[in-house]
Amino acid sequence: MKKEDEQVNEYGVLLESNGRYALRFERFLHHNPEDVFFVITKPSSFAQWYPFATGEMDLRIGGRIAFDDGEGTTYEGTITELEKPYVFGFREVDDLINISLQKEDKGCRMIFTHTFNDDSWAVNTAAGWHRCLDVLVQIINGRPIQWHDNSTELREIYSELFKIKD
């Protein structure tokens, strides 16, 4: 395993507050926040790792992000936070996504948080985000994208971590 991949497999945590839930993932990246922020917010790379993203994004507060589920449903997200190069947040339907970058030592720590209302999909959602963030790290590290066939294993891990049974 190469040094830049060391923390790719960190597991997320499920938090609960005021009847809402949040999945929180952290990844340490051996890149500065400016470079990571650019990859996260560049529409063409965003569409490679973020589910249903079309690559259409108006990168400003109040700007729209277009999504298409591939089954006939299209919808938009709205950018709610944008502090280059440290914070990118948006609302996708009723859910909130927040990605923050903190400069650290020889790189930065990325904290990805997805806040939502219904915990019944928490295990599946955590497994999905885990895989998406693994791909994002590959993109940031300039590697070819490789989606690993580990959904079942990740759902089992998150079910145990969250003590939720599917």
DSSP track, 48-77: HHSTTEEEEE--STT-EEEEE-SSS-EEEE
Q: What is the pLDDT of residue 130?
A: 97
Q: Please state the domain count of the chain.
A: 1
Position 41 confidence tier, pLDDT thresholds 50, 70, 90: very high
Alpha-carbon torsion angle 111, 117, 120, 126, nearest 10? -10
pLDDT in tens, 10-36: 899 999 988 999 999 999 999 999 999
56 belongs to a structural domain: no
66 belongs to a structural domain: no
pLDDT in tens, 79-134: 999 999 999 999 999 999 999 999 998 999 999 999 999 999 999 999 999 999 99
Q: What is the pLDDT of residue 1?
A: 31
69 belongs to a structural domain: no
Helix axes 122-140, 151-162, angle to 10 degrees: 120
Q: What is the pLDDT of residue 105?
A: 87
Q: What is the pLDDT of residue 166?
A: 46
26 belongs to a structural domain: yes
43 belongs to a structural domain: yes
Q: What is the pLDDT of residue 6?
A: 41
Judge if pTM exceeds 0.85: yes
7 belongs to a structural domain: yes
140 belongs to a structural domain: yes
Say whether pLDDT at 155 is over 70. yes
63 belongs to a structural domain: no
Instruction: Tell which wins on pLDDT, 140 or 8.
Output: 140
Q: What is the pLDDT of residue 10?
A: 84
Tokens linked to 20: 């809402």
CATH of the domain at 39: 3.30.530.20
Tell me the three state secondary structure of residue 9.
Answer: coil
pLDDT in tens, 42-55: 999 999 999 999 99
Q: What is the pLDDT of residue 3?
A: 39
Structural domain of 98: 3-50+86-162
Say whether pLDDT at 164 is over 70. no
